[in-house]
Amino acid sequence: MARNSSLVFEGRQTQLKPLFPEDVTQEYVSWLKDPGVNEFLEARFKKHTLATQRAYVRGFDQKTKFLWGIFDKKTKKHIGVITLYDIHPMHKYANYGYLIGNKKYWGTGAAQEAIALVFDFAFLKLRIRSISTGAYAPNVASVFNYKKMGLSYQGTFKERLLYKGAFVDQVWYGITRDEWLSRRKKLAF
Amino acid sequence: MSTEERIKSIMADSLEVDRTLIKDNASIYTIAQWDSLQHLRLVMALQEEFGMRFGDREIPDLVSFAAIQEAITKKMKSHGKE
């Protein structure tokens, strides 16, 4: 698959680049196995190797389903990934997900900046009309991030997800294009 | 120190910003440094200071000084601490 430079985005501290199977490293695989990183990820239910993760990455065609590596702009270090998927061609909605695997970058604003770059791409280039995402209800840090980015509460699936031996609620948050354009002006990215 | 002052002081310490930035309208939208990790630190500090617990559903709603003040006042009333 050809690398498309029009899918490379830069913020103040991060750079997003489409990720390809050959970009998958042992470090990336190790994030998925780390209980601190995967606590609220479906990844914790699976076994991960270079081969399985390369197969996962191959599933993103970077045309209708996107996966970017999140890199430290200065050091070029790979610190996480972010996805935009379930893009509906008629309804113009999409979902997104992300993970910052390198814990040194937690609390640095890297995730928020990466999300902002993907939202800009989705809403302004792809002309998506709304983006949503779900979280385990106990994942208060993710829900906080949704609010910080301007997403609003959409609804709850009761007792939907298995977490620490119990079934917990899944909460959904979303944002429309107009809401994002309004929120975007207030973010310092 | 009043409840308002205690909250603002904890917010400044937890969010690592100057106390003068914690105005009545302070929120996640006015304080750029207020991220998810600092939010968790802030919630833990508030719980310790005021001797109360916030649930999973309450924690993400504590996104401004006003919201925090309201939540704490409500809990104090229900626990007869006012």
pLDDT tens-digit readout, B25-65:
999 989 988 988 899 999 999 999 999 999 988 999 999 99
Partners of residue A143 in chain B, C-beta under 8 Å: 59-60
Name the residue in chain A with its Cα closest to that of B28.
A148
Burial A163-189 (b: 16+ CB within 10 A, else e): beeeebbbbbbbbbbebbeebbeebeb
A4 has a pLDDT exceeding 80: no
CATH 3.30.470.20 fits A5-184, yes or no: no
In the beta sheet, which residues pair with residue A97? A83
Distance between CA atoms of A175 and A93, rounded to whole angstroms?
10
Do the beta carbons of residue B60 and residue A140 sit within 8 Å?
Answer: yes
Partners of residue A137 in chain B, C-beta under 8 Å: 56-57
CATH 3.40.50.1950 fits B3-78, yes or no: no
At B20 the pLDDT is 93
Domain ranges within chain B, ordered by starting residue: 3-78
B82 has a pLDDT exceeding 60: no
Distance between CA atoms of A132 and B17, rounded to whole angstroms?
31
Do the beta carbons of residue B65 and residue B26 sit within 8 Å?
Answer: yes
- pLDDT tens for A11-31 read 999 999 999 999 999 999 999
Name the residue in chain A with its Cα closest to that of B38.
A107
Domain ranges within chain A, ordered by starting residue: 5-184
One-letter amino acid for residue A131 of the chain: I
CB nearest A144 (choices: B29, B32, B36): B36
At B75 the pLDDT is 92
Note the Cα A152 to chain centre separation in Å.
Answer: 17
Distance between CA atoms of B66 and B24, rounded to whole angstroms?
7
